[in-house]
């Protein structure tokens, strides 16, 4: 395999680079160590350098250094032909962030995850003035770590079937790149499976940001809203023979920083620049929030409710897909509203929201604060977050929907001549167990209202979003279908799901005419095995939907599952409180309907975590258990509650039922496996 890959890397990666650096003896003589002015630091950047910049919109972005680099170029015409590489979008969509560097001659190439917040760079791409590559955000964050480790590149499945795939565009954004640019992404087959190989390249300069630095260059980030990939970027530049420049807010004396709080060690830092306050905002939307830096938690009741709107209708329907204990990712834009609805419905505590920036738990922010969060449980680096995502750690992702086609493909990255890039969309959408795309049914000026639980279209959008073929394939419906991924497409008036044949229409809003307000506005006919059912009427009411009970109360039939391959019957009674005789009878009927047709006895595992039975129903419930036991070859029960193990165990034993209840699912499964070997 090494022989197959190495010729594709080129000598460029293997050749070390050397940059001028601050003479340590001179630095000690002037008693300031690595602390220099922004102008002195930027002087180290040379023509044709590859620069990596940290940042997530505005969080963690070294604004002072970007401004100084722009001013130097405008003053001297140098440096020229830089390559900019960065994972997330870094800008405010106007003038800040990498918009400072959108100057012809200064930039010759970009290798990035997102360009939507930097219209100046987008124009250079569209005008074929620079080479331009889009790569999935997670793949590039992991690539920086691989560059730091001296590896030839990053091998991953992320990007297969999308415009990133070399069999499509290879991530190349314009004709100049397609005709003159090298291939940075190649297709490799490993043991019969296709993968994409993202090739390493040297990093000459890293422009990073922290909060506090000492004269030795040790950097802490106590007031930053996220950690991002600063360490991996610093290591990549250092081990490429390059220069690491870090912008900070303040200085500390040598030896006073807590070693545990140092994110970038001084051995990797060449220059430290103290920024002006106006160029060191915590995010591009917030000068400083103690909640963003995890210094304190804020009351969730203080967060205002969303006003009823088309957007709220969409995210209300999406919120029905939340399940207890699920790990969730929310995309930028409309998907952010899912968290607001979850907070309104008092169900936010039952799921763990995450953001690709490294936020785990709490409430992710939106707009120019996107990537930051309040009341978070943990804050990790971007590359480790994508490791978790890529391995299947997400239960569900809520992502934007700009265009969809009959095959189930989704486009969120290209619209006419305008590129935005995928950001983390491809990594997240390809790897989440379930994906819920959210967006309006049509685009451009759509207006709706609700009355008596019914939806009215007051003004239709100007553009169709369900088209014959998406302009750019950011999500591959075929790849998802082949991998049996659950996918929903949620709009204000209808819901589609992904099936093997493509997009299937499964729900329609009350008040919407199927023919004139759905099918007539699509460029293709969706699959319809049966008439679509009505969307929940509560979505179209002004009051709270009350989905907390729905979330916590799993339907009886969904609490019992039979795995034919292993002949195991799973019973999930977690968080269930049995209060009526009708519920006991329903449970008996469900068990019988599943087990009677099998024709043989089954092994059974029952989860009794937080289960309870009303005292007056104990005898009736135990009789039902005896009935079910007639179908069991063996049974193991478990609960983490010591009280319930003792109480339920005693009641079962008194009534002649095997009483032992284990402490965990794993213990119960081990005992079952042991029994099967006898």
pLDDT in tens, 342-373: 989 988 888 999 999 999 999 888 889 999 99
Cis before 79? omega within 30: yes
In whole angstroms, give the CA distance from residue 613 to residue 577. 6
The mean pLDDT of the chain is: 88
Cα separations (Å) of 423 from 57, 61, 186, 331? 11, 16, 20, 10
pLDDT at 652 over 60: no
Q: What is the pLDDT of residue 614?
A: 84
Structure-token match 């250094």, residue found: 65
In whole angstroms, give the CA distance from residue 97 to residue 58. 7
pLDDT at 543 over 50: yes
Which among 224, 286, 321, 356 is annotated as catalytic? 356
When pLDDT is averaged across residues 257-273 and rounded to a whole number, the result is 97
Band (48; pLDDT cuts 50, 70, 90): very high
Of 431, 355, 356, the residue nearest 394 (C-alpha): 431
Band (650; pLDDT cuts 50, 70, 90): low
Helix ranges, 470-543 (H): 477-482, 514-517
CA-derived radius of gyration, the chain: 28
Note if 3 is an active site residue. Answer: no
Cα separations (Å) of 205 from 49, 67, 72, 493? 7, 16, 16, 50
Structure-token match 């957007």, residue found: 311
- 286 vs 663, higher pLDDT: 286
Q: Are strands 612-613 and 577-578 parallel, antiparallel or unpaired?
A: parallel
Q: Are strands 205-209 and 50-53 parallel, antiparallel or unpaired?
A: parallel
pLDDT at 447 over 60: yes
For residue 569, what are the β-bridge partners?
Answer: 562, 604
In whole angstroms, give the CA distance from residue 584 to residue 44. 76
To the nearest whole percent, how much of the chain has pLDDT over 90?
73
pLDDT at 317 over 80: yes
Q: What is the pLDDT of residue 654?
A: 53
Band (666; pLDDT cuts 50, 70, 90): low
Q: What is the pLDDT of residue 266?
A: 97
CB-CB contact of 83 with 110 (8 Å): yes
When pLDDT is averaged across residues 260-276 and rounded to a whole number, the result is 97
When pLDDT is averaged across residues 247-265 and rounded to a whole number, the result is 96
- Determine which of 39-43, 76-80, 300-304, 417-421 has the lowest per-residue pLDDT on average: 300-304
Q: What is the pLDDT of residues 579-611, one digit of tens each?
A: 888 889 999 999 999 999 999 999 888 887 778
CB-CB contact of 478 with 501 (8 Å): no
Of 331, 358, 263, the residue nearest 59 (C-alpha): 358
Band (550; pLDDT cuts 50, 70, 90): confident
Q: Are strands 212-213 and 205-209 parallel, antiparallel or unpaired?
A: unpaired
In whole angstroms, give the CA distance from residue 141 to residue 385. 10
When pLDDT is averaged across residues 514-518 and rounded to a whole number, the result is 97
CB-CB contact of 440 with 496 (8 Å): no
* Sign of the dihedral defined by the CA atoms of residues 38, 44, 49, 54, in that order: negative
When pLDDT is averaged across residues 109-128 and rounded to a whole number, the result is 93
Q: What is the pLDDT of residue 659?
A: 47
Half-sphere exposure of 395 (CA within 13 A, CB side): 12
When pLDDT is averaged across residues 414-420 and rounded to a whole number, the result is 82
CB-CB contact of 112 with 135 (8 Å): yes
pLDDT at 179 over 50: yes
Task: Say how many residues make up the chain.
Answer: 678
In whole angstroms, give the CA distance from residue 533 to residue 507. 5
CB-CB contact of 464 with 379 (8 Å): no
């Amino acid at each position: 395999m090494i022989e197959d890959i190495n010729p594709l890397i080129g000598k460029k990666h293997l050749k070390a680079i050397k940059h001028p650096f601050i003479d340590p003896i001179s630095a000690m003589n002037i008693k300031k160590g690595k602390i220099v002015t922004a102008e002195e630091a930027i002087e180290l950047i040379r023509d044709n350098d590859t620069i990596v910049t940290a940042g997530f919109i505005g969080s963690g972005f070294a604004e002072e250094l970007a401004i100084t680099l722009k001013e130097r170029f405008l003053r001297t015409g140098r440096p020229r032909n830089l390559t900019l590489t960065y994972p997330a979008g870094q800008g405010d969509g106007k003038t800040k962030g990498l918009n400072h560097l959108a100057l012809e001659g200064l930039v010759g190439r970009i290798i990035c995850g997102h360009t939507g917040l930097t219209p100046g760079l987008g124009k250079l791409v569209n005008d074929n003035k620079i080479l331009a590559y889009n790569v999935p955000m997670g793949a590039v964050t992991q690539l920086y770590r691989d560059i730091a480790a001296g590896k030839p590149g990053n091998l991953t499945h992320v990007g297969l079937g999308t415009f990133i795939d070399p069999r499509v565009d290879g991530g190349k954004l314009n004709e100049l790149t397609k005709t003159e640019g090298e291939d940075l992404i190649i297709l490799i087959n490993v043991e019969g499976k296709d993968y994409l190989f993202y090739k390493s390249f040297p990093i000459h300069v890293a422009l990073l940001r922290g909060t506090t630095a000492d004269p030795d260059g040790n950097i802490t980030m106590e007031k930053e809203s996220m950690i991002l990939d600063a360490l991996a970027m610093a290591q990549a530049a250092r081990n490429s023979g390059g220069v690491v420049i870090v912008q900070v807010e303040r200085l500390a004396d040598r030896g006073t920083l807590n070693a545990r709080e140092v994110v970038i060690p001084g051995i990797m830092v060449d220059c430290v620049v103290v920024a002006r306050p106006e160029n060191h905002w915590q995010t591009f939307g917030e000068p400083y929030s103690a909640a963003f830096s995890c210094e304190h938690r804020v009351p969730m009741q203080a967060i205002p409710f969303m006003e009823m709107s088309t957007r709220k209708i969409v995210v209300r329907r999406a919120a029905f897909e939340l399940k207890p204990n699920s790990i969730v990712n929310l995309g930028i834009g409309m998907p952010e509203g899912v968290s607001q609805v979850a907070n309104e419905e008092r169900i936010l505590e039952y799921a763990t929201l995450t953001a690709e920036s490294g936020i785990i738990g709490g409430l992710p922010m939106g707009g120019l604060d996107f990537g930051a969060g309040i009341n978070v449980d943990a804050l990790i680096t971007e590359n480790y977050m994508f490791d978790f995502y890529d391995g299947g750690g997400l239960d569900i992702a809520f992502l934007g929907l700009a265009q969809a086609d009959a095959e189930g493909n989704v486009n969120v990255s290209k619209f006419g001549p305008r590129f935005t890039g995928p950001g983390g969309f491809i990594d997240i959408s390809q790897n989440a167990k379930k994906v819920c795309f959210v967006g309006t049914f049509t685009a451009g000026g759509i207006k709706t209202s609700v009355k008596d639980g019914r939806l009215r279209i007051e003004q239709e959008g100007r553009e169709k979003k369900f088209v014959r073929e998406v302009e750019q394939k950011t999500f591959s419906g075929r790849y998802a279908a082949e991998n049996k991924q659950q996918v929903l497409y949620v709009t204000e008036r209808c819901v589609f799901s992904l099936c093997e044949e493509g997009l299937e229409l499964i729900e329609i809003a009350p008040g919407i005419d199927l023919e004139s307000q759905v099918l007539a506005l699509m460029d293709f006919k969706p699959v319809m095995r049966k008439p679509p059912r009505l969307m929940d009427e509560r979505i179209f009411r002004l009051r709270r939907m009350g989905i907390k009970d729905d979330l916590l109360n799993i339907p009886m039939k969904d609490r019992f599952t039979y795995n034919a391959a292993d002949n195991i019957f799973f019973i999930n009674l977690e968080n269930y409180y049995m209060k009526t005789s009708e519920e006991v009878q329903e449970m008996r009927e469900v068990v019988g309907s599943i087990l009677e047709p099998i024709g043989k006895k089954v092994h059974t595992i029952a989860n009794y975590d937080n289960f309870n039975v009303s005292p007056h129903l104990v005898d009736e419930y135990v009789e039902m258990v005896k009935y079910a036991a007639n179908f069991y070859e063996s049974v193991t029960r478990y609960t983490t509650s010591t009280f319930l193990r003792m109480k339920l165990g005693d009641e079962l034993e008194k009534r002649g039922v095997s009483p032992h209840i284990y402490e965990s699912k794993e213990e119960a499964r081990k005992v079952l496996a042991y029994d099967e070997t006898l």
